[in-house]
Amino acid sequence: MGLGLEMSQAIQCSKVLVVGAGGIGCELLKNLVLTSFLNIHIVDLDTIDVSNLNRQFLFRRHHVGKSKAMVAKEAVMRFNQAVSIFAHHANIKDEQFGAAFFSQFDIVLNALDNVDARRHVNRLCLALDIPLIESGTEGYIGQTTTVRRGFTECFECQPKAASQTFAVCTIRNTPDQPVHCIVWAKYVLSMLFGPPDADNIMLDKDLGGESYLDGSGNFTESDFLSTQLYTGSPTEMANLIFKRYFTTDIEKAILIADRWVNRPAPIPLYFDELLKSHNEVSDCEKGLQDQHVPTVSECATAVIESLCRIYKERSHSIGSISFDKDDDLLMDCVAHLANLRMFVFHIPMQSRFHIKGIAGNIVHAIASTNAIAAGLIVLEAIKVISKEFGKCRTVWIGRCGPKLLLSQRLEEPNKSCFVCSKSKRLLAVNCDVMALTQLFKVCRDVFGMNTPSIDVVSHENFIGCEDDHGDSDYLSRALSDPGVRIVDGAVLVIDDLSQRLEIELLVQNRFDVEGFEVLQTNAVNNTAKKRPREESGHSDGMQTQL
């Protein structure tokens, strides 16, 4: 594509922020450098895992364990020595990447697989009026779109369906949710007892395909038939599997110090020590086994028993076993494996019932889909840099019909969006039941805020609450408490300075509501307005700083 002198100069002078150096990010960085974008910043928290190597082509085997952002920078600079790239091995939500950092860029390109981080970037770009190009892929489908304040839908204009896909690096290395551990446990079950599957994320293809269980009784690396080839006793096999996944692998993971800078390091488990602290489950607990949240020692004992039973009772099926949530033995094994991993990574353990309910499907990443998405991002970026915003399109990638790509005009902002259109929301809640700390949790979990600050404005009072790191006694009070006085008709103005976001909630006290409901409202009858803090050091009413 001939760009012309003027457009080429605009591209070379532009300053670009790329968020994410994974599947899409690797392809995107390569494309940007080859298109002569010369000023690029990359932000990515992840380190390179063996499972990345089959589709993230900037990385090689000797890069495993290193920062994706740093290695990607080194790789793409070989394509164009004139490029100036700054790599940041960090979380885009860190304080250092606030409004001042974002303000230096002409355009932001998202190559993220994390909805929470995508929302954060979306909000900062809207607040600072920086064009944002969003992207995502899932198997053979994907999309790219451009976001511009006041002209297009933002990332949050349409509700996002709960995703059933998870980043491979997160599952293998840094789980932080129960579902990550459950998915991991299913992969382990398939690796040990299932048919060969080249897409199993637990398979380290580069390492020779040796057996997990070699003749000496030691673990090496992976082979799908390892449990078939092992000649020892079921108990020995089960103990070796436990040692591999919960002792040896975790001890190795702890040595990668960069992963644990902003989160606690995992805890290796030693079966003999857990066995000493194991107590038999009572008959009452056995009767409610599905609802019982086990201890780590119970899980350790139970996972050995489950693995032994599979080896004994299903020996004729080893090599062809696939997970079925209605198969009690397989479900037990997955639940125990998942709970042990949750304990190792400081994630609250779950009941068997809960684990069974959230066991989900995996859609594998496809390198060619990532490459197509990355190419589309650069085409849209050129339009933005060239001030040809009217030519920007949302492009869908898929295999339905005669075309692989389907483009459409960008949608206008959704007037009901609380992020880009400042639409108000109604919070229906029992004010006598909900505590102030639970309200902060709503701000984080429902509205995706990082550091919410709640201003309560009514005709009677004005209370400012900075964050829930203060007096735990005060935070445990009900909303209707005289010291809090968040009651029917109160208006909550909630700020998050890290995202430059402000939303307004009208409180409706409802005794029939369990928990809370957040509803859309186009009009708020209460006319109370937020009193700006900048005008005075204190308010007319009571102000509590937490």
Kindly report the CA angle at 166 between 300 and 318, in degrees rounded to 5? 50
- Non-local (6+) Cβ contacts of 423 within 8 A are 415, 416, 417, 520, 522
Is the confidence at residue 222, as pLDDT, over 60? no
Q: Output the 3-class SS for 140-204.
A: CEEEEEEECCCCCCCCCCCCCCCCCCCCHHHHHCCCCCHHHHHHHHHHHHHHHHCCCCCCCCCCC
Summarised one tens digit per residue, pLDDT across range 423-453 is: 788 888 888 888 888 888 888 888 888 888 8
Least confident of 20-34, 45-59, 280-294, 345-359: 280-294
Domain boundaries of the chain, sorted by first residue: 5-163+366-409, 168-358, 425-535
Question: Average pLDDT in the 486-505 region?
Answer: 85
Beta strands of 311-392 (E only): which ranges? none
526 annotated ligand binder: no
Summarised one tens digit per residue, pLDDT across range 452-464 is: 888 877 645 445 5
> What pLDDT is attached to residue 19?
97
Take residue 29 and report the two structure tokens written for it. 């960085």
- Non-local (6+) Cβ contacts of 476 within 8 A are 435, 436, 437
Is the confidence at residue 378, as pLDDT, over 90? yes
154 annotated ligand binder: yes
Take residue 218 and report the two structure tokens written for it. 């030691």
DSSP bridge pairs for 134: 145
CATH number of this structure's domain 168-358: 1.10.10.520
Residue among 99, 104, 97 at smallest CA distance from 14: 104
465 annotated ligand binder: no
420 annotated ligand binder: yes
What is residue 219's three-state secondary structure?
strand
Query: Please, are residues 440 and 452 in contact by the beta-carbon 8 Å criterion?
Result: yes
Query: Please, are residues 37 and 84 in contact by the beta-carbon 8 Å criterion?
Result: no
378 annotated ligand binder: no
- Max mean pLDDT among 148-157, 348-357, 441-450 falls in 148-157
Residue of 169, 333, 431, 443 with catalytic role: 169
162 annotated ligand binder: no
Say if residue 82 is exposed, middle or buried (CB neighbours under 10 Å; 0-12, 13-18, 19+). Answer: exposed
Q: What is the DSSP string of 478-525?
A: BTTSTTT---TT-EEEEEETTTTEEEEEEEEE-TT-SSEEEEE-S---
- If one compares 198 and 297, the residue with the highest pLDDT of the two is 297
For the question of residue 169 being annotated catalytic, the response is yes
Give the right CATH number for 5-163+366-409 from 3.40.630.10, 3.40.50.720, 3.90.230.10, 3.40.50.2300: 3.40.50.720
First to last CA, the chain: 57
Is the confidence at residue 164, as pLDDT, over 60? no
Helix (H) or strand (E) holding 384: helix 367-385
432 annotated ligand binder: no
> What pLDDT is attached to residue 527?
33
- If one compares 480 and 270, the residue with the highest pLDDT of the two is 270
> What pLDDT is attached to residue 372?
97
Summarised one tens digit per residue, pLDDT across range 271-314 is: 988 887 656 554 444 444 667 899 999 999 999 999 999 988 98
Is the confidence at residue 67, as pLDDT, over 90? yes
Query: Which fold, 425-535?
Result: 3.10.290
d(CA 53, CA 64): 9
Query: What average pLDDT does the structure give for the chain?
Result: 82
